């Protein structure tokens, strides 16, 4: 409606460009990831970046019981990275002592997800088996 008025003042100025985004480190990306697929993708980027920070975070993730997907991915990536720290973490998680320490917390039931205690225990045991198998597979890769 007021197009004739705009034509008197010439073309509009282009919108200002947004400031460049601060680069997000792979470690920050992993820590802010919510869904399991995002966690795995972020862990892969972290392992690709390499360095002692990446190795330390992978070791921390494999010992953390909150995400089975992240644990399995961390086991696979530690097997690819190698090194004495990776081997020690994989051997610890593949062994019985690690799981015995957390058994009381993990096997107390469905955690309010509408499961019975027996179903919760069954799922926790399945998760344990999958993570331990991933650690064994990674240790096989590390063998000379």
Query: So where are the chain's domains?
Result: 34-142
For the ranges 49-63, 74-88, 92-106, 107-121, the one whose mean pLDDT is highest: 74-88
pTM of the model: 0.75
Of 106, 95, 33, 103, the C-alpha closest to 70 is: 33
What token pair was written down for 106? 């993990």
pLDDT in tens, 29-47: 887 888 888 888 988 988 8
- CA dist 49 and 41 (Å) reads 13
Map tokens 């972020």 to a residue.
Answer: 42
- What would the two tokens of residue 91 be? 């051997």
pLDDT tens-digit series, residues 12-32: 777 788 877 777 777 788 878
Number of residues in the chain: 144
Question: Among residues 80, 101, 89, which one has the least CA distance to residue 57?
Answer: 89
């Amino acid at each position: 409606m007021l197009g004739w008025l705009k034509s008197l003042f010439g073309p509009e100025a282009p919108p200002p460009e947004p400031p460049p985004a601060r680069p997000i480190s792979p470690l920050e990306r992993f820590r802010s990831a919510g869904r399991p697929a995002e966690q795995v993708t972020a862990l892969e980027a972290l392992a690709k970046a390499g360095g002692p920070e990446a190795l330390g975070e992978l070791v921390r993730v494999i010992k953390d019981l909150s995400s089975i997907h992240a644990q399995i991915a961390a086991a696979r990536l530690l097997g690819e990275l190698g090194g004495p720290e990776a081997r020690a973490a994989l051997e610890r998680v593949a062994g019985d002592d690690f799981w015995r320490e957390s058994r009381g917390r993990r096997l107390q039931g469905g955690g309010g997800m509408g499961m019975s205690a027996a179903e919760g225990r069954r799922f926790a045991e399945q998760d344990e088996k999958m993570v331990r198998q991933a650690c064994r597979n990674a240790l096989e890769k590390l063998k000379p």
